[in-house]
């Protein structure tokens, strides 16, 4: 009995031991399998990540190979990778590196040495140095720089913002200029000692001689520039004063009669002060009243009226008589055609004999033709019996006309017409009238 029990006990113990061993082996197997599975999963994940990184890198490489960039030094275009290699050996990069701004340091021993150095600089250089350093140098005259050329030699501006030296480099440069241009550009008034080239209608001067004359006159270019600046300043002051007087005169013109204001603006009268305006207005009113008394009006195209109002030339009676005479001539006679015929006859004679007259002399000859036409028409209308009211000027000639007729003289003779119309009596005509009397 006890043996059997022990055997049973041994069998139970053995089964338990076997069970425990089986459980251990199965658990270890599961552990090994789970570890292998985890390792396999990790390997798969690492491979997928590696594939993704390789794909992204390949895409980036493709983009880099496709993109092109320009070299900042020479401007040539390269791919991104090739640009880095090119920049290491670019020749333009080396040249630009050599052109980099250098740092200069002024080594000035003391103020006396610096002042001595400033004495070598031109006025324009001193002006720029003042702007850079912020200092003020007593020998610098910065206000003169505006009248100088940009060539840094204190050369004055002559024309078109350039001095003579800079302008001589242009294709449109003229070495010879007229006297009028010399007065305007160089401000010269005395041409006695300057060489010139006299032409038929004008006189030419060499610009080199003009500049030499100006340098001899002022002693240096800077003094020449000072004279130009002084003239400009005076001109600006005079213009400011003139503008102020003009504004005051315009304001005062508003207080005068409206008719005078309209007449003054139409004729372009330029009064300088109130006193002149008052004188002009008084003459205007006097002349207007005298013309209206003879049923005439003031004409804006009459130079005779303008000279009387603006300058006081002549007497009111004479101006009115002339205006009345001209109104009668153009209104009732063939005065215009007769003047044309006389002037055409003179021109034809000049062309036939090839005679050339200066303009002033030719204008005087045309005025003589007009005066002759007036004298002829005056005698004709005094001699004829007509119902027209003749001008007062012609009526005053009637006494001399009757005297000539009473003496049995022909009134259409040139000398007689002049006596009748202008009361100019020659010695021969005086003797004839005395003998007939």
Each residue of 418-432: pLDDT tens digit? Answer: 888 887 766 666 666
Q: Which of 415, 343, 420 is nearest to 377 (CA)?
A: 420
The reported pLDDT for the residue numbered 31 is: 52
d(Cα 297, Cα 259) in Å, to the nearest integer?
Answer: 12
Burial of 128: CB neighbours in 10 Å, binned 0-12, 13-18, 19+? middle
Which pLDDT band, with edges at 50, 70 and 90, does 328 fall under? very high
Q: Which two tokens stand for residue 406?
A: 């009473």
pLDDT, greater one: 315 or 35: 315
d(Cα 178, Cα 186) in Å, to the nearest integer?
Answer: 12
Which pLDDT band, with edges at 50, 70 and 90, does 35 fall under? low
d(Cα 184, Cα 187) in Å, to the nearest integer?
Answer: 6
- The answer to whether 381 and 390 are in contact (CB under 8 A) is yes
pLDDT, greater one: 258 or 356: 258
The reported pLDDT for the residue numbered 161 is: 87
What sign results for the dihedral spanned by CA atoms 404, 407, 413, 414? negative
CA 230 to chain centre: 22
pLDDT, greater one: 276 or 60: 276
Which pLDDT band, with edges at 50, 70 and 90, does 65 fall under? low
SS3 68: strand
Evaluate if residue 416 carries a pLDDT over 60. Answer: yes
Lowest pLDDT segment from 22-26, 197-201, 312-316: 22-26
Evaluate if residue 20 carries a pLDDT over 80. Answer: no
R_g over Cα of the chain = 56
Average pLDDT value for residue range 382-406: 85
d(Cα 128, Cα 173) in Å, to the nearest integer?
Answer: 29
Place of tokens 């101006």: 319
Q: Which two tokens stand for residue 251?
A: 């304001």
**Tens-digit pLDDT profile for residues 97-149:** 666 544 545 556 677 777 787 888 888 888 888 888 888 888 888 888 888 88
Evaluate if residue 2 carries a pLDDT over 60. Answer: no
The reported pLDDT for the residue numbered 4 is: 42
Which pLDDT band, with edges at 50, 70 and 90, does 26 fall under? low
The reported pLDDT for the residue numbered 30 is: 53
- Orientation of helix 303-311 relative to helix 274-293, angle to 10°: 140
The reported pLDDT for the residue numbered 3 is: 44
* pTM for the structure as a whole: 0.49
Which 8-state DSSP code applies to residue 339?
Answer: H
DSSP H stretches of helix in 294-412? 303-311, 316-332, 335-353, 359-383, 392-395, 398-406
Evaluate if residue 291 carries a pLDDT over 90. Answer: yes
The reported pLDDT for the residue numbered 292 is: 93
Q: Which of 197, 149, 148 is nearest to 169 (CA)?
A: 149
CA 397 vs CA 390, 409, 416, 434: distances in Å = 11, 16, 12, 19
Q: Which two tokens stand for residue 160?
A: 């078109």
**Tens-digit pLDDT profile for residues 210-256:** 999 999 999 988 899 999 999 999 999 999 998 888 888 888 888 88
Lowest pLDDT segment from 79-93, 240-254, 367-381: 79-93
d(Cα 392, Cα 27) in Å, to the nearest integer?
Answer: 157
**Tens-digit pLDDT profile for residues 163-187:** 888 999 998 899 999 999 999 999 8
The reported pLDDT for the residue numbered 86 is: 83
């Amino acid at each position: 009995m006890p043996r059997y029990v022990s055997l049973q006990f041994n069998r139970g113990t053995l089964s338990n031991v076997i069970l425990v061993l089986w459980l251990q082996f199965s658990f270890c197997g599961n552990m090994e399998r789970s570890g292998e599975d985890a390792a396999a999963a990790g390997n798969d994940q690492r491979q997928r990540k590696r594939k993704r990184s390789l794909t992204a890198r390949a895409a980036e490489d493709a983009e880099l190979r496709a993109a092109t960039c320009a070299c900042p030094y020479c401007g040539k275009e390269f791919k991104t990778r090739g640009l880095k290699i090119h920049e290491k050996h670019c020749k333009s990069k080396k040249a630009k590196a050599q052109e980099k701004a250098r740092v200069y340091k002024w080594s000035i021993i003391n103020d006396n040495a610096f002042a001595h150095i400033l004495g070598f600089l031109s006025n324009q250089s001193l002006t720029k140095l003042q702007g850079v350093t912020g200092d003020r140098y007593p020998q610098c005259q910065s206000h003169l720089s505006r009248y100088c050329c940009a060539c840094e030699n204190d050369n004055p501006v002559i024309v078109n913002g350039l001095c003579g030296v800079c302008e001589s480099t242009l294709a449109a440069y003229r070495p010879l200029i007229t006297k009028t241009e010399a007065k305007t550009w160089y401000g010269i008034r005395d041409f006695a000692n300057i060489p010139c080239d006299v032409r038929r209608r004008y006189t030419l001067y060499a610009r080199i001689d003009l500049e030499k004359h100006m340098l001899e006159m002022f002693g240096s270019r800077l003094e020449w520039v000072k004279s130009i600046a002084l003239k400009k300043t005076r001109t600006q002051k005079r213009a400011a004063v003139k503008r102020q007087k003009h504004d005051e005169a315009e304001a005062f013109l508003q207080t005068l009669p409206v008719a005078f204001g309209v007449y003054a603006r139409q004729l372009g009268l330029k009064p300088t002060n109130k006193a002149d305006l008052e004188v002009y207005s008084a003459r205007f009113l006097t002349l207007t009243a005298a013309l209206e008394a003879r049923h005439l009006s003031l004409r804006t195209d009459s130079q005779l009226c303008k000279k009387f109002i603006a300058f006081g030339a002549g007497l009111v009676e004479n101006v009115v008589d002339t205006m009345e005479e001209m109104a009668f001539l153009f209104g009732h006679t063939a005065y215009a055609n007769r003047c044309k015929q006389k002037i055409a006859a003179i021109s034809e004679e000049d062309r036939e004999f090839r005679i050339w007259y200066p303009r002033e002399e030719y204008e005087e000859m045309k005025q003589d033709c007009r005066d002759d036409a007036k004298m002829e028409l005056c005698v004709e209308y005094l001699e004829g019996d007509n119902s027209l009211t003749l001008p007062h000027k012609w009526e005053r000639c009637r006494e001399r006309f009757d005297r000539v007729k009473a003496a049995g003289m022909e009134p259409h003779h040139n000398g007689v017409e002049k006596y009748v119309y202008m009361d100019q009596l020659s010695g021969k005509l005086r003797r004839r009238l005395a003998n007939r009397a």
